[in-house]
Amino acid sequence: MVASCSVKYSFSGASIAPEIKTFSVAYIENQAPTKQATLSDVFTEGLKEKIRTNTRLSMVNNYGDILFEGAIVDYSVNYLGVTASQLAASNRLTITVKITCTNTKEPKKSFEKQFSRYYDFDAMQNISTIETAAIKQISDQIIEDIFLEAFANW
């Protein structure tokens, strides 16, 4: 008696068992002490788009074979360094997202994890002038990290 197992690989780095057909992404709420108006939408829609375009999975509204839930738990700007004249030299915008991934077909691949990335910028710049670009860069990196954690089995 011979048993076989099949796993599909793609150029995105995803390896998904053939019995997994659907995914769902619950709204990622902003629970950070500092709120940013568009952040929840950026992460929720960005994660949906990443999975839609890089896997064969179909998106469903609720209870996909793989379900992503989470919250933005930190959005902060901190000073990084001080110049000789005691002025801030640079700042760091940090975003942290806590994600729970429930894989109903392969429960051992489920996880709950925090993903954090940052963007450094000159202290002479106002956060409002770099915020859109910084959020885009950070969110792209975090979404890639979530995707790899859920689908890449290297």
Residue 21 lies in a domain: yes
How many domains, the chain? Answer: 1
Residue 128 lies in a domain: yes
Mean pLDDT confidence for 49-59: 96
**Given this model, what pLDDT does residue 120 score?**
92
Q: Could you tell me which of 18, 28, 20 has the C-alpha nearest to residue 142? A: 28
Residue 88 lies in a domain: yes
Q: What is the pLDDT of residues 66-109, one digit of tens each?
A: 999 999 999 999 988 666 666 658 899 999 999 999 999 999 99
Residue 1 lies in a domain: no
Q: Could you tell me which of 87, 91, 98 has the C-alpha nearest to residue 76? A: 91
**Given this model, what pLDDT does residue 84 score?**
60
Ranges 4-18, 56-70, 137-151: which has the least confidence: 4-18
Residue scoring higher pLDDT (88 or 50)? 50
Residue 108 lies in a domain: yes
Q: Is the pLDDT of residue 110 over 90?
A: yes
Task: Look up the CATH number of the domain holding residue 49.
Answer: 3.30.160.150
pLDDT tier at 1 (50, 70, 90 boundaries)? very low
Residue 3 lies in a domain: no
**Given this model, what pLDDT does residue 153 score?**
66
**Given this model, what pLDDT does residue 5 score?**
41
Residue 108's domain spans which residues?
8-151
Give the span between the Cα atoms of 60 and 65, in whole angstroms: 9
Q: Could you tell me which of 56, 52, 54 has the C-alpha nearest to residue 24? A: 52
**Given this model, what pLDDT does residue 89 score?**
81
- Helix orientation angle between 127-151 and 39-54, rounded to the nearest 10 degrees: 40
Residue 104 lies in a domain: yes
